[in-house]
Structure 1
Amino acid sequence: MTSERRLSLATLDSLPDSVQQPSYDPAGTSAGIVHLGVGAFHRAHQALYLDDILATDPQWAIIGASLRRPDMRDALAAQDNLYTVAVRSGEGTRLRVIGSVKSILVAPESPEALIAAMVDPKVRIVSLTVTEKGYCHDPATGDLNREHPDIVADLKNPRAPTSAPGLLVEALRRRKAGNIVPFTVMPCDNLPANGPTVHRIMTQYAALIDPDLARFVEDDVAVAGTMVDRIVPATTDAEIAEIDAALGLSDAWPVVTEPFTQWVIEDRFPTGRPDFAAVGVEMVADVEPYERMKLRMLNGSHSSLAYLGYLAGYQTVSETMADPAFEQLVRQLMTDEIMPTLEMPGTDLAAYRDALIARFHNPALKHRTWQIAMDGSQKLPQRFLGTVRDRLAAGQPIDRLALGIAGWMRYVTGTDETGAAIDVRDPLAARLKALGETAGRDPERLATAYLGVEDVFGRDLRAEPAVVRPVTEALAALLENGAVATVRAYAG
């Protein structure tokens, strides 16, 4: 760190004029939102919008919660939970200090403290960014995974849960028992139809505890679906040092992001909400079309770039996009295979595509292909397979989608093109590696093995010739020719 002095309420006055800081007194706000999953994305997205809102309405500060580790709490507690957002583009970096997070709780240390915060009548929204795997569901079906270790553990002790579904339902149970109106649940993760999906997961979990509780969750708890969009890579030590130097203070954990940001929310808040529209949020009756567009075009393309780019030896998305063949591939993927599956009257999908390509090129955003490649078994169903099923129903080819799927298969074998080990971070990593070792480098056996993973592909795709053939062909090309030559051939 470049300074012995820490960013805090006491040192805000010493910030350079170029650094935007809260226009309100963070100490004078009250918490109206509990947010599960205080990571980089939340701090660069939802917390920033709330920072704007608090300037005129101080009742909507955030109590954050970590469901796993104390790292974020420990990093920010000494600086009054202030932190810096660095917005980076080719034109430079803009710094802004955020004050909307009041405190951060750590669920494994004290689930009781977190549940008590969620039961507080002043809290009217509980939002989440816990990643796809945090919902303890089956990505292929969207249902609660009753065999998930966290769910099994929570059902043995439902009054002290640690999973996101368990925490939500226990807090709602206590509000019901205390005649406190339920909070609105607002999931902000990349799940298809995230509102209905999370509502179903909570109801299914509650049904395993008490049928009356399940009816209450199903009938009386509002869930506001959302679409969130901002690229937020993991912050590097070099970026922390650079930000510290610009601040003249030490910030233990700033976040770095791009200029683009979007938030679309279904307007389902029976007990009240902030004036989201006043700070640029799109309030809609049905978020699903926006969600599908983003999942398929941004997230699907991002994952394709991640797997194929990593295999090609590219460290970041912008480095991958600097290869003309990869840019051409992702443009063709969106134009020819994804966009025809989307019905978005009034939306210029070609302009959205071009904006995405420009964002992927941002050289100031060091978004690692390895980071995006994490948890692929949870991501593929919503990022790829909905598009695949729509293409099949229309009798249309899936060659470039199949290449992205094959890139994932090649990646999760756990060995790269030089023979070095890949650090595969995925809930199914051990199982996927074992399947790869059994199948060896035989593309037919390998594709058959991975397409047979029902958790990912369900039961309908594994024997579908229009899927098996192009995936096997793409996998064979990757194994024989490598990612760079394969992408050039597909983009030719």
Structure 2
Amino acid sequence: MNQLNATTLKSLIPPSDLEVVAANNLPERVIQFGEGNFLRAFVDWMIHRLNKQGLFNGKVVLVQPIAEGLADKINEQDGLYTLLLRGLQDGKIVEQKEVITSVSRGINPYTDWTACLQCAENPDIEFVVSNTTEAGITYDPADRLDNTPPVSFPGKLTAYLYHRFQHFKGDTAKGMVIIPCELIERNGEQLQALVLRLAREWGLPAAFGEWVAKHNTFVNTLVDRVVTGYPRDEVQELEQYLGYHDGLLNTGELFHLWVIEGPEELAERLPFAQTGLNVIWTTDMSPYRTRKVRILNGAHTSSVPVAYLYGLETVKEMMDHPVMGKFIRQVIWEEIVPSIKLDRDMLSDFAKSVIERFENPFIKHYLLSILLNSSSKFKTRNLPSLLEYYQLNGTLPERLVFSLAALITVYKNGIIEGAAMKAQRTAGEFIMKDDLSTLEFCAGAWKAYDGSAQSAAKVAYTVLGNTGIWGTDLNTVPGLTSMVTAYLYDICEHGIQDTVAKLVE
């Protein structure tokens, strides 16, 4: 079977798709720190779409952010790879297959840092994109300008921008647009602050810091697409279908959303919306972040402790289940959406897409992986919905409160082993990972339980009163402690299955 490369591609595509072959001659206009599955199924796919319609006419050079990466494989395939997007649209299975041609080459900065700095000398390269994981935008005091390369991504970017500043002699027109995709709040602002900090600590000229601050644009972003990556379990079947071997074959869901908070003129330089892509340029991304965190992430966090204790394993299994499928839909439509003070149509459209995404038969999303660090997730994703629902209605949202009780129950009978907890459910033993102090505290709180309603109340009061976990004493919320107590006792004495079944009737 042939390997995917430029020669193979020319023999595969029909003559009518000449723009795909012609795209090989486009100049590099984007440098991307990160060559993994997500960016190749998100940003590089979007640039490919722009190029096909003649709206960008540029390529992306990929820099692998860690020593072990894909640069060599990318170069072996001439930057080409197949992207397979699959999912549900209006209840029907839809599949989209494309060979992505927007990548020019890969660079391994750990073996060729010079090649990366040479990109800074290219006046055509005006955009920086990154996805170096949430831990990528962090300060590393060991970073130095003369490291080849600097260890951290902010260090690499600072060195890159300084090289550009020197090469173009501080030309204000040669500033760059920096578009981070890391999943941290205000990612652009945080990245800019780190670059300026490193510039000061490295003793770089004040003029460079001024150039970075005034003539480079750091935007904040919110990205959303589930990318399932290389399909190891079905690769042989898919390559028979494709007719060639692709070591970079990538898969993901159909849904995508990119919210970019930045100057409006950038929307003209990167006209994603003109291609029908779900990219939103805005001066305030907070409503979109609230919508995603509260509905998408909140639906996961509120339902997963219940579903996992119930005995289920995946999100799709949960959605198809007659009881748990009803539970999660009720949580979304009857409690989360009504608690958010934003445009109802905007919320409803997103909620519908979330449910369809959870039903995607091509994505195997394990509940146990979502259960990771659930206490901090509940505080960020679900507690605002619970509290705001109470403020709006004067009553507590029963299912969100039940999900809190189920989360507390996860820690029952848990045994701390190292930095994790060996926990129990009816289906058997599992490893619960959370902040160690939270695991230890909750395990300790459950020692008070002796099977009585009074002891359940003590557990509820103790856990809800931990301000270190929740950021506030939840016992002060009227009625919450008594409702959590009742749910804890019901779960312990009658089981999660009977208790949730009564709740969704």
- What does 1:21-36 align with in structure 2 at a 5 Å threshold? 23-36=20-33
User: Looking at CA atoms only, which structure, 1 or 2, has the larger radius of gyration?
Assistant: 2
Match of 2:132 among 130, 133, 137: 130
Q: Tell me which moved more, 32-41 or 270-279.
A: 270-279
Select 1:182's aligned residue among 160, 175, 181: 175
Give the structure 1 partner of residue 270 of structure 2. 274
**Of the candidates 120, 123, 128, which is equivalent to residue 121 of structure 1?**
123
Query: 1:227 offset after TM fit, Å?
Result: 3.3
Provide the C-alpha distance between the structure 1 equivalents of 2:303 and 2:441, rounded to a whole number of angstroms: 24
Distance 1:54 1:92, change over 3 A: closer
Aligned match of 1:356:
354
Residue of structure 1 in register with 2:312 after alignment: 314
> 1: distance between equivalents of 2:118 and 2:398?
51
Q: Quick check: 1:296–1:387 contact (8 Å CA) kept in 2? A: yes
Label 1:352 to 1:465 Cα distance change in 2 as closer, same or farther (>3 A). Answer: same
Is the 8 Å Cα contact of residues 16 and 247 (structure 1) preserved in structure 2?
no
Mapped partners of 2:398, 2:102: distance in 1: 46
Instruction: Out of 157-166 and 60-69, give the one that drifted further.
Output: 157-166
2:106 counterpart SS class: strand
How many residue pairs get aligned? The number is: 469
Q: Cα deviations across residues 174-224 of structure 1 (Å, max 9, x unaligned)?
A: 434442533222133444444445545555665655694666544443222
Code of the residue aligned with 1:240 in structure 2: it is: V
1:491 is aligned to: 504
The answer as to whether partners of 1:289 and 1:343 remain within 8 angstroms in 2 is no
SS in 2 for 1:415: strand
Q: Helix, strand or coil for the counterpart of 1:264?
A: strand
2:396 alignment partner AA: P
Residue pairs, 1:457-468, within 5 angstroms: 457=470, 460-461=471-472, 465-466=476-477
Q: Residue 337 of structure 2: which of 339, 352, 369 is its match?
A: 339
* Other-structure match for 1:233: 228
Measured against aligned partners, the alpha-carbon deviations of 1:32-81 in whole angstroms (never above 9, x if no partner) come to 22223333222222211110112215643222233235343354332222
Structure 1 residues 471-480 or 221-230, which shifts more?
A: 471-480
Relative distance call for 1:223 and 1:398 in structure 2 (3 A) is farther
Provide the C-alpha distance between the structure 1 equivalents of 2:39 and 2:339, rounded to a whole number of angstroms. 29
- Unaligned runs of 5+ residues in structure 2 are 412-419, 449-455
The 5 Å alignment of 1:72-471 reads: 72-89=70-87, 90-91=92-93, 93-106=95-108, 113-114=115-116, 116-117=118-119, 120-136=122-138, 151-154=140-143, 160-178=149-167, 179-180=170-171, 181-200=174-193, 202-203=195-196, 212=206, 217-268=212-263, 273-280=269-276, 281-345=279-343, 347-373=345-371, 382-384=380-382, 386-387=384-385, 390=388, 397=396, 400-401=399-400, 410=410, 413-417=421-425, 418-422=427-431, 424=433, 457=470, 460-461=471-472, 465-466=476-477, 469=481
Secondary structure (helix, strand or coil) at the match of 2:431 reads coil
Q: Which amino acid aligns with 1:420?
A: E
Q: Kindly provide the CA deviation profile for residues 91-117 of structure 1, in whole angstroms up to 9, marking residues without a partner as x.
A: 353321111122233455555654554
| Aligned mates of 1:266, 1:176 — CA distance in 2 | 25
TM-score (normalizing by structure 1): 0.77
Provide the rounded CA distance (Å) in 1 between the counterparts of 2:127 and 2:62.
12
8 Å contact 1:318–1:367 — kept in the other structure?
yes
Match of 1:15 among 2, 8, 12: 12
Task: Give me the whole-angstrom Cα distance separating, in 1, the residues matched to 2:229 and 2:365.
Answer: 7
Q: Find the aligned partners of 1:200 and 1:451 in 2 and give their Cα distance.
A: 36
CA distance in 1, matches of 2:261, 2:316: 33
What is the match of residue 6 of structure 1?
A: 3
Cα offset for 1:337? 3.5
**Structure 1 residue 402: Cα displacement:** 5.1
- CA-to-aligned-CA distance 1:275-307 (integer Å, 9 cap, x gap): 222222333333322222122211222344455
Structure 1 unaligned residues grouped into runs of 5+ = 137-145
The structure showing larger relative contact order (alpha-carbon pairs under 8 Å, at least 6 residues apart) is 1
Query: Percent identity over the alignment?
Result: 25
Letter in 1 for 2:315: V
Give the root-mean-square deviation of aligned CA atoms: 4.2
SS of residue matched to 1:25: helix
Change (3 A) 1:157 1:369: farther
Query: What CA deviation, in whole Å up to 9, does each residue of 1:204-262 have, x standing for no partner?
Result: 66565569466654444322233333232344312322221111111123222233333
- Residues 133 and 378 in structure 1, CA contact (< 8 A), matched pair in contact too: no
